[in-house]
Amino acid sequence: MQIVERIEPLRMALAEPRSRSVRIALVPTMGALHEGHLALVDRARARAGCVVMSVFVNPLQFGPNEDFARYPRNREGDARAAEARGVDFLFAPQPDEIYRPGRAVSVLPTALASRWEGASRPGHFAGVLTVVAKLFNIVQPDVAVFGQKDIQQAALVRALVRDLDFPIQIIVAPTVREHDGVALSSRNAYLSAPDRKRARVLSRAIFAMRDAFDQGERSTASLEALGNAVVGAEPEVHLEYLAVMDPDTLEPRALASTGAIVAIAARIGNTRLIDNVILGIPADAA
């Protein structure tokens, strides 16, 4: 595996596989790699002969009171894990390589970004889409792989590719979970042992809603009441949203149907966690 910190050397290195018509896949990450990220590499490898992983903690997608400074960083560990999983190029730029002084253009999302994560984190998705668009232009992959855990991000990346005509196939890979159902996330590292136990309530709530759907419940109000009751049993967990939404528009739905998303966000202490399931579709069918 080659570690590359600058844009031009990466472009030059990728010219070689590209000249042989080798398909190139991009796995964008912010590092602190865990099995969830590495599973994205497997999906990328299944579709491309050359896998590029980016590791960049993107300052643009963090609000002023968010966790940019304390976001976990583990350069050596990430490099070891990426290499062991078969990444060909690890692109690990410094912020000044990505954002030069005088930067004048951002990618601004429309309504799709105003609800849910966008409502809690103003400016977050403009930061995400700006860096993703830059990474797409830098790497020019044939395919890019994102995790289902950040499902609103995945919907917005699909919209980015569609609306700005990037010739890139977007793959959304299923969420990887701990044995107790908790979705893998770099932010789980912030949780104390008791809070880590409390975090189980997020997946418990959305699984209860999914199971009720599987047993025939279609009323969103009933499904949400069920999920709210599950979360309510854990008073230290502060719910931000728990909703059944349309997979394309992310608008709330009055009636649940196959393919609809059940998404949750909650705070436990200083840590904000998100999770989701897709109704009526097996978790590994992505």
Give the footprint of ligand PAF on this chain (CB under 6 A).
Answer: 28-30, 58, 61, 128, 131-132, 150, 153
Q: Is 179 a catalytic residue?
A: no
Terminal Cα distance for the chain, rounded: 28
Closest separation in Å from C-beta 214 to ligand PAF? 29
Q: Are strands 143-147 and 169-173 parallel, antiparallel or unpaired?
A: parallel
Q: Indicate which residue of 37, 124, 179, 238 is catalytic.
A: 37
Residue with smaller CB distance to ligand PAF, 141 or 227:
141
Please name which of 196, 200, 179, 178 lies closest in space to residue 187, comparing C-alpha atoms: 196
Q: In the complex with ligand PAF, which residue's Cβ is closer, 98 or 191?
A: 98
Report in angstroms how near the CB of residue 16 gets to ligand PAF at its nearest: 25
Q: How far is the CB of 187 from ligand PAF (least distance, A)?
A: 11
**2 to 15, 20, 37, 82: CA distances (angstroms):** 14, 18, 18, 10
- Three-state secondary structure call for residue 271: strand
**If you write DSSP's letter for every residue of 18-59 in order, what string do you get?**
HHTT--EEEEEE-SS--HHHHHHHHHHHTT-SEEEEEE---G
Q: How far is CA 83 from CA 33, 143, 239, in A?
A: 12, 20, 38
- Min dist CB 40 to ligand PAF, Å, is 10
| Of 261, 240, 265, 264, the residue nearest 251 (C-alpha) | 261
Least Å from the CB of residue 266 to ligand PAF: 19
Q: Which is nearer to ligand PAF, 124 or 204 (CB)?
A: 124
Q: Which is nearer to ligand PAF, 169 or 222 (CB)?
A: 169
Residue 281 is encoded by which pair of tokens?
A: 């579709």
Reported as type and span, the H/E element at residue 156 is: helix 151-163
Q: Which is nearer to ligand PAF, 93 or 227 (CB)?
A: 93
Residue among 140, 133, 146, 134 nearest 168 (CA): 140
The catalytic site residues sit at: 37
